[in-house]
Amino acid sequence: MTPAKTLPAAPAEDTARPEAKRPRGRPRKTEDERDDGNRRHELLKAAAQLFRRQGFAATTTRDIANAAGMQSGSPFYHFKSKDALLFAVMEAGMHSALANQQRVLGDADYAALSPADKLRRLVHAHFEVLLGPGNDFVPVMLYEWRSLQRPQRKVLHKLIADYEALWMPVLQALQDSGQLKAPVGVARLLILGALNWSVQWFDPAKGATVKALGEHAVAMFIQEV
């Protein structure tokens, strides 16, 4: 065993206190910094609601800040511009839609379902994203797509393609069984187009439910055995 080295004694005349060491790691966050994620979420939520109700052009950053309970300039701490905020709303909506869809596909009983019941699950999940409480994000994308810049559209096109691709095996199985008569690619466009259009007219105050709407949609799209 190597003997431990002894530290040299400090000179007798050196009475200065040792300089405090700088703590390692990142500095401790302030309360505002710790709450930054929550503030950003509230900002996105407020922006989505206003963009959907008032339209992107008619909504100001002051409107969004007021709805989120922030100072008028606070949105620019999180986003460079109103355009960037719009894109963030749409991107968040698509990520939420994908996560919701993945939960459906990951259910323990999903693989054993019939193609018709798999479609039913996908339709209900899609309506949850479009029409569920607080879900203004994807409808904003449907309303305000033209307000995006080309690079932003490219990013969202990839997310949309990933989302729609997961419908294809179900539609193919339905066509193979004779329950879906249209070509699969065309059926995908028609089905999702019809589901998306529901944001224009669906009103729960008139007595319809999202669940019932999903059942009606499935009955319209395919002929169940």
pLDDT band of residue 37 (cuts 50, 70, 90) is low
* Segment among 28-32, 81-85, 115-119 with least mean pLDDT: 28-32
pLDDT band of residue 75 (cuts 50, 70, 90) is confident
Q: Is the CB of residue 97 less than 8 Å from the CB of residue 90? A: no
Please say if the pLDDT value at position 35 is more than 90.
Answer: no
Question: 129: Cβ–Cβ under 8 A, 6 or more apart, which residues?
Answer: 93, 96, 97, 100, 135, 138
The CA-to-CA distance between both ends of the chain, in Å, stands at 81
Long-range contacts of 184-188 (CB under 8 A, 24+ apart): 187/221, 188/164
pLDDT band of residue 21 (cuts 50, 70, 90) is low
- Report the pLDDT averaged over residues 175-202: 95
pLDDT, averaged across the chain: 84
DSSP state letter for 117:
H
Whole-angstrom distance, CA of residue 110 vs CA of residue 117: 9
In the chain, where do the E strands start and end?
A: none
- Report the pLDDT averaged over residues 123-138: 91
Q: Is the CB of residue 105 less than 8 Å from the CB of residue 122? A: no
Question: Above pLDDT 70, what percent of the chain?
Answer: 83
Torsion angle defined by CA atoms of residues 156, 151, 86 and 128, in that order, rounded to the nearest 10 degrees: 0
